[in-house]
Structure 1
Amino acid sequence: MPESLAWLPDNLSLPESVLPLLISTTLLILGVIALKVVIAGVIRRNVASSELRGRLLVNSRNALVLLAVFGLVFIWGEQLRSLALSIVAIAVAFVVATKELILCVSGSILKGGAGSFSIGDRIQVKDFRGDVIDQTLLTTTLLEVGPGKASHQRTGRMIVLPNALFVSEPVTNESFTDHWDFHVFTVPFKREDNWPAAREALLNAANRHCESYLDTARKYMSKVGTARGLEVPSVDPRVTIQAPAAGEIHLTVRLPTRTGQRSYIEQAILSEVFLNNDFSAKKAEPETSKTSKE
């Protein structure tokens, strides 16, 4: 055995089913080569125009290549079909094994393409709410804010969300604007409480706390509305009335505030209103019965 073939194993043998295919492939290639030589010779001898001769040679060569490809597919069709089925089976197994990772990558592409949020935004996904501090291809990291949806204090806990959540769950972005936000909070009362006075006190306190920056916030919101093609919302503080259940009155306060100061201004307004006022229902004084003198 030549030294160049010394690395081959001594018992190397081909499967019996492959040998006829190799013979057929060899005969096909030899037949195509022979046919090419014959056709090229005929063209060169019988075609006088060089331009036409070149075109015929190129077309005949391409036709023979196409014939060879079809012949190889016909010869090796069964083996190619088995190979394709094997590849499909491997691909399906790979997709099933890495489904969560694929969903995470898809979620990352989705939130990036949609511009759902960026670093520093406060978002909520399902029951998870917090400030975005990091994003990777597979995960998004939040600093938790809570407890509940009405609180704006960080709990000190970190939440790592798989990006697969963004494929099937809606995202609430509480940081619509960069410098100014609308803050909404609700104060519940009983129906018999003096809620009209509470409404007036809350509105006065909100106007007093927003007075220093109300014009600046109004100009900024007008600029944002023009840039995004939206109707400019009213920036003035307002208090609306809701009756979610029989015997209850809820006063909903909405006011503009600087980004990051929502909790501060809410606490300032509530402290001012409830330290200086009592809106509880006044108990009716018992009627004194008059004693008749005998």
Structure 2
Amino acid sequence: MNQFNEFITHHIGLNTETFSKVVVSVLIIIFLSALRLLILKLVWRRTEDVKVRYQWKRSLSMTLPFIGLLMIAAVWIKAFEEFGTFLGLFTAGIAIALKDPLTNLAGWLFIIFRKPFGVGDRVQIADNVGDVIDIRLFQFTILEIGNWVEADQSTGRIVHIPNGKVFLEPQANYSAGFEYIWNEIKVNITFESNWEKAKTILEEIINELEEGIPEKAKKEILEASKNYMIYYKHLTPIVYTSVKEFGVRLTIRYLCHPRTRRGSENQIWQRILTAFGTEKDIHFAYPTTRFFTAGE
């Protein structure tokens, strides 16, 4: 053993204590790398879900290096009990200089543990709306929808948002909990039109297209109520009647998935145009100006 120690000291230039710490540090890195590969291999075997695989890979890439850093620090710092004090003084010194990165890091922890949204969810943060495609330490990424494109269709742009925004801006999640949204279509007809017949036609169209959806939504609300105070008395589609300055407005209100809003509107409008086209006593209304001669 003495000869081995002398060999290390003279040929490598390290004393025995330092050399042992290097060996242990290398073993820690090897162990954590092997553990990561083993866990990923098990996950790959048990599921083919791309989202689940991505979440496991991302989580391991974030947590294992942090654990390894703490373990190696415990090896190299003799008085590890004082490491907490050192870490506190160190973080206090850099808190002001690294305020934004630290806020983003805290935002990442909030996203990971509180889960206001996850990869695959459709969200709105301030004016940014899109599908979450990546979550990293300092920012998350969405595939933008809306903006200059109508009806929640993708623009093709990728938007990177700092994680700290979750503390500053409201977050709307279209996907978590209750996976349906209420959509409305406004149909305007003239005062001279048979509005009762028009309303009946609209009710028939929407009830036919929405068949089965209220029951599915009811089951989802029951499941979501375990985590949120969500309650709806009526889930069936309805047509509301109101009067505007240019005619009678019939508003169709119905449930749809966030990603099918434009498709559902397309189907409904096509049927409305076809149905109204055969009715002589129903006419679409739009803002117009009428002139009347005094005495007539």
TM-score (norm 2): 0.54
Shift of 1:163: 0.6
Counterpart AA for 2:158: M
Task: State the match for 2:146 in structure 1.
Answer: 146
| 2:284 pairs with 1:279 | yes
| CA shift in 2, pair 1:91/1:146, >3 Å | same
Quote the Cα distance in structure 1 between the aligned partners of 2:284 and 2:252: 17
Contact 1:110/1:167 (CA < 8 Å) preserved in 2?
no
TM-score (norm 1): 0.54
Matches within 5 A, 1:102-251: 102-147=102-147, 151-177=151-177, 180-187=179-186, 189=188, 192=191, 194=193, 196=195, 199-225=199-225, 228=228, 230-241=230-241, 251=250
Shift of 1:167: 1.1
Quote the Cα distance in structure 2 between the aligned partners of 1:168 and 1:260: 27
Contact 2:185/2:265 (CA < 8 Å) preserved in 1?
no
Structure 2 residues without counterparts, runs of 5 or longer: 1-87, 277-282
Quote the Cα distance in structure 1 between the aligned partners of 2:250 and 2:108: 40
Quote the Cα distance in structure 2 between the aligned partners of 1:286 and 1:165: 57
Contact 2:184/2:254 (CA < 8 Å) preserved in 1?
no
Contact 1:103/1:164 (CA < 8 Å) preserved in 2?
yes
- 2:96 partner SS: helix
Aligned residues: 200
Counterpart AA for 2:131: D
Larger of the two Rg values belongs to structure: 1
Task: State the match for 1:60 in structure 2.
Answer: none
Quote the Cα distance in structure 2 between the aligned partners of 1:205 and 1:283: 32
Structure 1 residues without counterparts, runs of 5 or longer: 1-86, 288-294
Task: State the match for 2:265 in structure 1.
Answer: 266
- 2:234 partner SS: coil
Deviation sequence 1:53-102 (CA, Å, 0-9, x none): xxxxxxxxxxxxxxxxxxxxxxxxxxxxxxxxxx97x8666223211101
Quote the Cα distance in structure 2 between the aligned partners of 1:134 and 1:153: 19
Counterpart AA for 1:237: P
Deviation sequence 1:155-195 (CA, Å, 0-9, x none): 111111111111111101111446x4133134264885859
Deviation sequence 1:212-254 (CA, Å, 0-9, x none): 44433334434443675543542201233567x8668765433
Task: State the match for 1:26 in structure 2.
Answer: none
Matches within 5 A, 1:40-51: none
Quote the Cα distance in structure 2 between the aligned partners of 1:120 and 1:274: 35
Contact 2:141/2:158 (CA < 8 Å) preserved in 1?
yes
Q: Calculate percent identity across the aligned residue pairs.
A: 22
Quote the Cα distance in structure 1 between the aligned partners of 2:262 and 2:165: 28
Counterpart AA for 1:129: V
Contact 1:221/1:233 (CA < 8 Å) preserved in 2?
no
Shift of 1:139: 0.8
Which range is displaced more, 198-207 or 134-143? 198-207
| CA shift in 2, pair 1:252/1:102, >3 Å | farther
Task: State the match for 1:21 in structure 2.
Answer: none
- 1:236 partner SS: coil
RMSD: 4.0
